[in-house]
Amino acid sequence: MSMRDLTLTLLLAVANTPAQAATEGPRLGQPLEPAAISALDITVFPDGTGLPPGNGTAVEGKAVYDARCAACHGPNGSGGSAEELAGGRHPLTSAEPDKTIGTYWPYASTVFDFIRRSMPLDAPRSLGNDEVYAVTAYLLHANGIIGERDRLDAATLPKIRMPNAAGFVWVYPERQPR
């Protein structure tokens, strides 16, 4: 059988497979109850929807950052082996742009979401909500966006206007936060 004939045979076999088999999936894992799915859904949206209770300041966040983040990202958000988080001086339109929180990120709430979901790299989701608010505040302060005593919580964080807020084009403009 030639490669062309084999390909046609496989395509016909797939085309004749009942649609129900395609919706069943590979039968891996086990179905989750809605409560279990809700426990896993920690998404925070640009408008702040999904932010949990808690709060923190940059002063409080520096201690958490030094203990849990500085080994990879360096002191004050730069100079480590991981991505620079602060200190960017070159805009995205320059020949060598810096992609720090201050030069790249369009929403402060998504900084919170990323830290809570993914950091620290060796123990994601291990920081409490107050610690995440505090580290977010510390990083926003390190980028000159907020003061070191500004308190972040679910009401104040979405109100922060990031320097690159207008730097993205929305595929769905009707969904863009105001």
pLDDT tens string 99-140? 999 999 999 999 999 999 999 999 999 999 999 999 999 999
User: pLDDT digits over 90-104, tens only?
Assistant: 888 889 998 999 999
Torsion, Cα 149 51 156 172, to 10 degrees, reads: 130
129: Cβ contacts below 8 Å, ≥ 6 apart: 52, 53, 54, 116
Determine the pLDDT at residue 50.
Answer: 95
If one counts every other C-beta atom within 10 angstroms of the C-beta of residue 80, the result is 15
30, pLDDT greater than 70: yes
Place of tokens 């979405």: 158
What is d(CA 42, CA 50) in angstroms, rounded to the nearest whole number?
7
Question: What are the CA-CA distances from residue 21 to residues 15, 32, 65, 98, 105 (Å)?
Answer: 12, 20, 49, 48, 42
Total-model pTM: 0.79
Residue 51 DSSP code: P
State mean pLDDT over 39-43.
Answer: 89
Contacts of 59 (CB under 8 A, 6+ apart): 148, 149
Question: DSSP code of 125?
Answer: T
- Residue 18 is which amino acid? P
Which of 84, 68, 66 lies closest to 122, judged by CA? Answer: 68
Distance separating alpha carbons of residues 97 and 101, to the nearest angstrom? 12
What is the rounded CA–CA span in Å between residue 101 and residue 45?
17
